[in-house]
Structure 1
Amino acid sequence: MRELVKIFKALSDQNRLRILKMLEVRPLCVCEITAVLQLATSTVSKHLSILREAKLITDEKQGKWVNYRLNRQGNISYVNELLPLLSQWLPDDPTILKDRNKVKTIHRQTICQV
Structure 2
Amino acid sequence: MRDLLAITKAIADESRLRAVGLLDGRELCLCQIVEVLGLAPSTVSRHMAILGQARLVESRKQGRWAYFRLTEDDAPAEVHDALAMVLASLKRDKQAKADQKTLKAVLKIEPEELCRRQSDCKC
Q: TM (normalized to structure 2)?
A: 0.83
Counterpart position of 2:119: none
Over the matched positions of the two proteins, sequence identity in percent amounts to 37
Deviations 1:7-41 (A, max 9, x none): 00100000000000011152111111111111111
Deviations 1:31-89 (A, max 9, x none): 11111111111111110010000000000123442210000323312112222222211
Structure 1 CA distance, aligned partners of 2:18 and 2:104?
14
3-state SS in 2 of match to 1:88: helix
Whether 2:115 is the aligned partner of 1:112: answer: yes
Unaligned runs of 5+ in 1: none
Q: Any residues of structure 2 matched to 1:41-60 within 5 Å, and which?
A: 41-60=41-60
Q: Any residues of structure 2 matched to 1:6-17 within 5 Å, and which?
A: 6-17=6-17
Unaligned runs of 5+ in 2: 117-122
Amino acid at match of 2:29: C
Counterpart position of 1:4: 4
Q: How many pairs are equivalent?
A: 114
Once the two structures are TM-superposed, the CA of residue 112 in structure 1 deviates from its matched residue by 2.0
Structure 2 CA distance, aligned partners of 1:21 and 1:27?
11
3-state SS in 2 of match to 1:6: helix
Q: TM (normalized to structure 1)?
A: 0.89
Counterpart position of 1:18: 18
Superposed CA RMSD in Å reads 1.5
> Relative to structure 2, which stretch is displaced further, 41-50 or 55-64?
55-64
Amino acid at match of 2:114: I
Q: Any residues of structure 2 matched to 1:1-114 within 5 Å, and which?
A: 1-106=1-106, 107=109, 108-113=111-116, 114=123
